[in-house]
Each structure stands twice: as structure tokens, then as C-alpha cells.
Structure 1
Amino acid sequence: MKKQTKAIDEPFCRKDPYGALSMPVYNSVAYEFDNAQDMADTFCGRMKGPDYSRTENPTVTYFENKVKSLTGAADVVAFNSGMAAISNALMAVVSEGKYIIASRHLFGNTLSLITGTLRRFGVKVILLDLTDAKAVEEAVNKDVCCIFLEIMTNPQLEVADLKALSVIARKHNIPLIADSTTIPFTETDLGGLGVDVEIVSSTKYISGGATSLGGLVIDYGRFDFVSCRLRGELLFNIGAYMTPQVAYMQSLGLETLAVRYNKQAENALWLANELYKLPGVKVNYVGLKDNPYYEISRKQFGETSGAMLTIDLKDRDACFRFLNNLKLIRRATNLFDNRTLAIHPASTIFGLFTDQQRKEMDVLDTTIRLSVGLEDVEDLLDDIKQAL
């Protein structure tokens, strides 16, 4: 079956007694067993089935199975936020004294996790330009435990060569871990590009209009210990599993993901081309043919380039005036809502970093980030023009 069909018609693990077409929301915390042996076998992993909803729940399992079917992954684990997915995926591979190779071009909280929280537990980090494969190769040593990046960085919109990085990762037998939130997995084949572990904030495109918080770790099975630690250790000990209510909403979101995403990407491309014509506005969108990452993005992700773009204005004051003048576009964080959203990353998402840190991350005071939604694009353009 094609992906769109799989997104809708994934079978239930067990037949619903009432013939429900949508997977019901199993709000139960615990589950009754027929006998003591089944109970022991389930708790110890010898029998498949839910034992306690902190580690497994039928509604969440159904959502995980949908994603597994769409990606061809060996295993998928759903978490209660994108940051929970990132932190659990990294905790599955790191240990005291080990190094993570990562880019400075990361979402603010992801960078804080790697350079702050994990560092307090003895994990070290090497920050590099991940578009420079030679520099990455030279930086790998026996204590490096993984290479981590975003497939399209936020808000810099940088795209690294995943194949080149995967060759380095294979050579040194370390996992390549990639946050793919900016381009849905229905449009890509990151496993085929050499990514070992894919991380998604399902809050974004998948949720279907910012209905719910969630995250996914998609494990392609090249390093068996990843799923073993996620399911056999971290879900038990940290307890960041997705709730059944969220899994229900995001299963529904998956059914319309491809339709919504393609329209949003189409809107973003049209808007970027129109904004490109405006005086005093610098546009950054990977789908523009003169963008330095246009070719590598097409090669890796196909014909679409996501629904995020940035514009640069004269200075911070000009950005604030622009935001304050908006009438249709919402001043809000988050990405890939049905609504178009605008934010000044330097003063918000990266607002607690120092000026020097923001400079090193190429987060500029002149940049406005736009997440393009499903409104009529001419209305969006009119709003931007009047705000300018």
C-alpha cells in the first residue's frame, strides 16, 4: 500500500469488539490478566501486550504502529513532547565521558540540553559545522557516541549532506541521529539516507493544527541497544510516554498529514517567491532556486521544502514593528500549525542566550521566522505588505 493508504488503514493490534473504525482512547492505567503466568510474561517482555500505561497503551501502540508502517522502521516509541523524544533518544546512546558531535545550528532548547543538562552528567559535546564532512571526520574519536543534527535547521535553514555523514558514522560504528521535524517522514526516506535514529516533534505537522504535544523516536534498527534502552529502561525509569488522548488525536492527524503538508509547502514556496520581490526584505527559503541548499534539499527530501521561511529586516526595532503591525498572521511560537505564525527568534526562543552565543549560532536580531499555514496565500501576502 502507498503511504496515504497506510496512514488511514493501519489495522488494530486486536479486533475491536464493537467494530470501531477509529482506534478508541484507552484511558485505563492498568490491565487485567487471565492468570499469573501471563502477567509475569508480559511484565518481563516474554509476551506482547500492555502491562501499565506508563510503558505501553493500546491507543499509543496503534499510533506507533502507524508511524512504523509509514517509515519502515524497526521500532517507534512515542513520547509526550518533542523535547522528551530528543532527550530520551540521546540518553539511550550517551554515557559519562562520551562526546556528542552536533551543530551549533540547533533549536534553542535542544542546544541547552546538549551543552547544559547532559554536560552536568558528564556528557561532552563537540560543536561543528556539519555541512563540512571533512571536519566531522577529523573530530570523531573513540569517545564519540553519536552524530546529532536537524535535517533542516531552525531558524537558519541549513541542510547537511546526510549520506556523507552516514558514511562517517558507519566507519566509526556510531549512530547518526537526526531531528526531521521540518520535513515530514511521509516525504522522506531518512533510513535510506543512512540515518539510524529519526526524531520528530509530532506536535508540529502530525498533530493536525497544534492540537497536542508529542514526540517520536523512530529507530531503524541498526543499533539494537537504542530500542532496548528506550523501552526496557527509559520508559520505566523516566516515564515520558505519550498519553492515549494525544495518540488518538495524532493518529487522526496522520490521516491528513500529506494533504496538509503539501498545501503548506506550496503556500510557503509561493509566499517566498512573492516576498523575494519586495524591497528591503531578505528572504531565506530552501525552495528558492538560488538558495545554497536548494540542490541538496531536493536530492534528500524531494520536490517540497517545508513550510518554514525567514525574512530579515533592517534591525530589531523594524522586526518588532513588523510583528506588532500584523493583523492576520499570529504572533506565536510553534511550527506548522494550520495558522500562519510569526516570531522573532533572537528575543524569544534564543532570548536567554548571550549575544555572543546567538552570534555563534547565526541567530540574528534582524530575523523573523514565519511558519506558513493553510490560509489563502494572497491574504497572507497582503498582511505582510501592510505590516511592512
Structure 2
Amino acid sequence: VYDSVAFEHESSNSLRDAFMGRKPAHIYSRITNPTVQDFEARIQALTGALSVLAVSSGMAAISNTLIALGGAGKNIITSRYLFGNTLSLFEKTFAAWGLEARYVSMLNPEELAQAIDDETCAVFLESITNPQLEVADCRALSTVVRERGVPLIVDNTLMTPYLFNCAEAGVDIEIISSTKYISGGATSVGGLVIDHGSFDWSRAAKFKKRAAKFGKMAFIAALRQEVYRDTGACLSPHNAYLQSLGLETMALRIDKSCRNAQCLAEILAQRPEVVRVNYPGLADSSSRPTASRQFGNKYGGVLTFDLNGIEECFSFMDALRVIRRATNINDNKSLILHPASTIFAEYSDEEKKRMAIRPTMLRLSTGIEDYEDLIIDLQKGFASL
């Protein structure tokens, strides 16, 4: 683990050449670091991507990507079904700088096609929306954006490359919060920008000069030489080490988490106290057909269910002893949350309604505990109602 800030060079000429980009060398850990570079190489091997950039968080991955692509007068096409902080980034932070967010239903490729114009710099969505759990057909969306010369960006945090091969679905840039499944049980915060090398950057006006010089590496070059370097979004070497360790057990943990989610979703669907259950793996889920095509027979470790009211939701949560009342998802521990009063608390009731954030909805992220223990814990919650 190279917990170093700066790296000594054998001569003044060597240091100059490193700064001038004439030789590959580490200079300063905000720019590159050997431990972080090793983690990036592991992700590249896992995904088969053209290039990978590890950053300080999932939100840093999203913001760095869109800062590199966008600008004043440009627009991004997205959905209102997004993680609350991502939506805030689009509507508040970026809007103040003149980058417009346009909202469409990602279930309707024709609506997406109509929203794209000459100032569209990206199309952004989540592979499974959090917490609405909507699944769009990424291959169909890719066909639309490729015809219009716009990169397709997918936040694949809930599925990871283990469950969803973004490159095969035509995704150009994959975003991941490595804090979640990859970290190995919420050991560290981090994010990933994964460039699958499928977009022709010469078609984007902002990247024409870089595309002429760097070809398919133009986007990553823009991040490393400018945006990532200048915003200081670097992943710490120690976190990179912890997340490299997390990769070693990731498949085992994801498999167990998905099994637990499927089991609990089926049990919750049978409870009379539950108004509705949403999980793409349920036979009656509207997302099931698309999810099965894209993800195979695993549907992630997050589900939602509704009770009759807010008081019932809080009583249920407060009675739990194994499942933790906490934010985060895809932890080793099962976590439960009331989205309307927490991660979407800053939004009005009308805004929450547009985002399908119901006051009666609970989000459950299943960990790797024995599912029998989780069932017993849920029974305690129901007994409190």
C-alpha cells in the first residue's frame, strides 16, 4: 500500500519529463498512485474495458464524468427515477452552471429520441433505479443514442459488472459506487468511471481536438489531464487496497445477497400487512422480462415494500434487531430505510410523487446473513404493527 503523497525522481530531467507527460511515472497521489493504479487494473481486467479511473466516491464519478462532457448551454437526458443526491446534482449544482437536465421515461426509447438535440452531451440512467427498481432496456436505448452521436452513461452500482455486462448492452461509460458491493462490506468509500471504448469522441465537439490526439482515450485523457486532476477527486490508496480485497469475495457476497433478496421478496409478498412489494425478481414484476434479459437469473440485493402508513413504517423499523436502520446499500449487513424521510427528505411531497417516492415505502438492502435470521427479524417488525 503506497500511502504516499509525493514520489521522488532520480533526476531533475526525470521529474520534468513526468510533468510534461513524456514518460509514465507517479508524481503526486492526487494525480496517480501505484495502489490506486493496481485497483484500476483489476477493474479493467474484470470488465474488459478500455480504461478505468478510480475516484473518491460514486458521486465523484458521476460529477467528474458530466463536468468533462457538459458545459453551459448543454443538456443531459435522464430520468426522474434517480438516487436523490444524483438528482440534486443535476437540478441544483449543475443547473446553476447552465447545464440543463431533461427528464424522460427510459422505458420509452421514442421519447428519448425526441428529447435529444444538438446540445445534448449525454444520456444518463441507472441500470436498476434506486429505489423505484425500474429496469430500462439499455440495448434499445443504446441504439437510439448511437444514431444521434451521444454517449450512453449507466450507473451500474446496484448490479456491478458481475451481474450486468454494460459493454454487451451498448453502454459507453459505466459508473459505479465501489462503496457498495465492491468494497467488501462498507469498508471504504470510492467510485469508478469505466470507459468501454465504444464511443467515437470525434463526434463530440468538445472532444474533437483530444480525439485527434488520443483517439478512443480522449475521454479518459480529459479526466486525467484536467477534470479529475483539478477537482481533487482522488481515491485514497488505503481505500483502493481495501476495495481490491473486496473484489476477491465480491461474487460470493453478491450471490448470497441476491438469494436473500429473492427469498425475502417472495415472503413479503405473502404478508397481509404488506400493501405491495417491488423486486425485479418477482414473477409479477413489470421489470422482470427486461431484467431477465439483461441480468440473467439474479436481480440484485435491493427491494422495497409498502405498509399502510408512515407510523407503521417507523414502528416496523424500530422493532428490528438484525436488520440495521441505516443508509447505504449492498452492505454485508442488511439495512432498512424510509426513503421519503431520509435520502429524499429535501424534496417536496409533489416532487416525491413525481419520483414515485411514496410515504409508505420502505427500502430493504439484503446482506449476507442467514435468511432464516432475517425472516425472524421481519416477523418482529410485523408483530409491532
> Which category describes the TM-score, using the shorter chain as reference length?
over 0.9
- Deviation, 1:46, is 2.4
Matches of 1:373 and 1:50 in 2, distance apart? Answer: 38
Match of 2:332 in 1: 338
Matches of 1:192 and 1:92 in 2, distance apart? Answer: 24
Matches of 1:290 and 1:140 in 2, distance apart? Answer: 33
Structure-to-structure mapping, 1:272-287, within 5 angstroms: 272-281=265-274, 282-287=276-281
Kindly provide the amino acid, as one letter, of the partner of residue 211 in structure 1: T
Match of 1:245 in 2: 238
- Deviation, 1:49, is 2.1
Matched residue of 2:179: which SS? Answer: coil
Matches of 2:17 and 2:252 in 1, distance apart? Answer: 42
Return 270-279 or 146-155, whichever deviates more.
Answer: 270-279
Matched residue of 2:226: which SS? Answer: helix
Match of 1:122 in 2: 98
Structure-to-structure mapping, 1:134-149, within 5 angstroms: 134-149=110-125
1:256 aligns with 2:249: yes
1:351 aligns with 2:345: yes
Within the candidate set 23, 38, 41, 1:62 is matched to 38
1:382 aligns with 2:376: yes
Matched residue of 1:291: which SS? Answer: coil
Matches of 1:382 and 1:144 in 2, distance apart? Answer: 50
Within the candidate set 306, 315, 321, 2:315 is matched to 321
Match of 2:294 in 1: 300
Match of 1:88 in 2: 64
Matches of 1:51 and 1:304 in 2, distance apart? Answer: 43
Question: Alignment identity in percent?
Answer: 47
The alignment covers a number of residue pairs equal to: 364
- Deviation, 1:283, is 1.2
Matches of 1:188 and 1:247 in 2, distance apart? Answer: 22
Kindly provide the amino acid, as one letter, of the partner of residue 251 in structure 1: S
Match of 1:14 in 2: none
Matches of 1:159 and 1:255 in 2, distance apart? Answer: 28
Return 220-229 or 354-363, whichever deviates more.
Answer: 220-229
Question: Which has more helix, going by share of residues?
Answer: 2
1:227 aligns with 2:220: yes
With the length of structure 1 as denominator, give the TM-score of the two structures. 0.92
Within the candidate set 157, 179, 201, 2:177 is matched to 201
Matched residue of 1:92: which SS? Answer: helix
Structure-to-structure mapping, 1:142-161, within 5 angstroms: 142-161=118-137
Matched residue of 1:185: which SS? Answer: helix
- Deviation, 1:100, is 0.5
Q: RMSD across aligned C-alpha pairs, in angstroms?
A: 1.0
- Deviation, 1:37, is 2.8
Matched residue of 1:251: which SS? Answer: helix
Matched residue of 1:189: which SS? Answer: coil
1:76-124 residue CA offsets vs partner (Å, 9 max, x unmatched): 1111111111110111110110010000000000000011100111101
Matches of 1:226 and 1:322 in 2, distance apart? Answer: 47
Matches of 2:141 and 2:292 in 1, distance apart? Answer: 17
Match of 1:131 in 2: 107
Task: Give 5+ residue unaligned stretches, structure 1.
Answer: 1-24
1:236 aligns with 2:229: yes
Matches of 2:246 and 2:141 in 1, distance apart? Answer: 32
- Deviation, 1:164, is 1.0
1:237-264 residue CA offsets vs partner (Å, 9 max, x unmatched): 1111100000000000001101110111
Return 227-236 or 109-118, whichever deviates more.
Answer: 227-236
Match of 2:73 in 1: 97
- Deviation, 1:295, is 1.3
1:26 aligns with 2:2: yes
Matched residue of 2:194: which SS? Answer: strand
- Deviation, 1:156, is 0.3
Kindly provide the amino acid, as one letter, of the partner of residue 268 in structure 1: A
1:44 aligns with 2:20: yes
- Deviation, 1:151, is 0.6
Matches of 1:374 and 1:187 in 2, distance apart? Answer: 17
- Deviation, 1:35, is 2.4
With the length of structure 2 as denominator, give the TM-score of the two structures. 0.93
Matches of 1:235 and 1:127 in 2, distance apart? Answer: 27
Matches of 1:276 and 1:187 in 2, distance apart? Answer: 24
Kindly provide the amino acid, as one letter, of the partner of residue 86 in structure 1: I
Match of 1:22 in 2: none
Matched residue of 2:69: which SS? Answer: coil
Kindly provide the amino acid, as one letter, of the partner of residue 4 in structure 2: S
1:311 aligns with 2:287: no
- Deviation, 1:53, is 0.4
Matched residue of 2:239: which SS? Answer: helix
- Deviation, 1:235, is 2.2
Within the candidate set 337, 356, 363, 2:357 is matched to 363
Kindly provide the amino acid, as one letter, of the partner of residue 21 in structure 2: G
Kindly provide the amino acid, as one letter, of the partner of residue 120 in structure 1: A
Matches of 1:234 and 1:42 in 2, distance apart? Answer: 19
Matches of 2:292 and 2:24 in 1, distance apart? Answer: 41
1:212-247 residue CA offsets vs partner (Å, 9 max, x unmatched): 100000011223432111101012211111000000
1:109 aligns with 2:85: yes
Matched residue of 2:153: which SS? Answer: strand
- Deviation, 1:187, is 2.2
1:285-337 residue CA offsets vs partner (Å, 9 max, x unmatched): 10111111111111111211000001110011111111111121100000011
